[in-house]
Amino acid sequence: MRPLTVIGNWKMNGSIAGNAIWIEAVCSEMEKGMPAGRRYGVCPPYPFLAQCGGLIQSCSLAPLSLGAQDVSAEQLGPFTGEVSAAMLSEFGCTYVLVGHSERRDRYNESDQLVAEKALQVLDHGMTPIICVGETADERNSGRAVEVVRGQVAKQVAILQDRLADSLIAYEPVWAIGTGKVASAQIAQDMHREIRLQLAEFDADVASHVGILYGGSVKPDNAVELFAMPDIDGGLIGGASLDPQEFLAICRA
């Protein structure tokens, strides 16, 4: 049975004071008890990793893990502005996002680069969350499955059976930060396509890989989304900024 996983992605939001309030609110509620067999994480911006990691460690009874929003494909060296997987591991990160649609779109990240980043994460004992998804134009032209399969294919080619230690996040680009959300059935259909594609490579890998949905997940649609057989949780953007909304989604 794949555990339900809920990861909050703060994107370029947060402050030292606000982060402390958020983590105290979430951890205090989680320490009172959460549904069994689930995993939870939060990905703040790089400058806040030390603060958030320390706060999470101080409330060790809460099942909340630290994550990062990106990583370099390089191990070390003259790469100004980059952050390595080794550094993230030292900060106590459990999860690392790679290939988020905003990175692919704004910084022209290729499927090859995304897979190389995922390898760095795996090599340093963390779990990559590999993001895939289609734009509105690609869906409207009937190419959604083709596009997503192409993105997944590169990960399979490079990561091979190490995908079993990864998470995949299907995030339709047209539903990120727009208020639009794929219906539970549309999301399930794409998640099923991804799992069937993984099964073409290795049925055991396909059965173990958690596939999260990302795209305007809210407390009022999370229950229906998470009930789908191939949806194994959510990558939560805007709603994760509010601790009570995040907690409601975690309980969905």
Radius of gyration of the chain (CA): 17
pLDDT of residue 141: 96
Q: State the DSSP string of 185-237.
A: HHHHHHHHHHHHHHHHH-HHHHHH-EEEE-SS--HHHHHHHHTSTT--EEEES
Q: Among residues 134, 138, 171, 245, which one is catalytic? A: 171
- pLDDT tens digits, one per residue of 175-232: 877 777 789 999 999 999 999 999 999 999 999 999 999 988 999 999 999 999 999 9
Q: State the DSSP string of 46-104.
A: GGGHHHHHHHHHHTTTS-EEEEES---SSSSSS-TT---HHHHHHTT--EEEES-HHHH
Do the beta carbons of residue 112 and residue 100 sit within 8 Å? no
Q: Check pLDDT > 90 for residue 252.
A: yes
Q: Among residues 100, 124, 134, 191, which one is catalytic? A: 100
Q: Is residue 249 part of a domain?
A: no
pLDDT of residue 180: 75
Q: Is residue 246 part of a domain?
A: no
pLDDT of residue 220: 93
The pTM (predicted TM-score) of the whole model is 0.97
CATH for 53:
3.20.20.70
pLDDT of residue 41: 98
Strand partners, 6: 40, 234
* Region 67-71 average pLDDT: 98
| Nearest to 244, CA basis, from 16, 26, 7 | 26
Q: Is residue 229 part of a domain?
A: yes
Q: Is residue 231 part of a domain?
A: yes
pLDDT of residue 61: 87
- pLDDT tens digits, one per residue of 99-110: 999 999 999 999
- pLDDT tens digits, one per residue of 13-55: 999 999 999 999 999 999 999 988 899 999 999 999 999 999 9
**Residue 171 annotated in active site:** yes
Please state, rounded to an integer, the average pLDDT across all residues of the chain: 96
Q: Is residue 225 part of a domain?
A: yes
- Domain with 112, as residue range(s), is 4-30+37-238
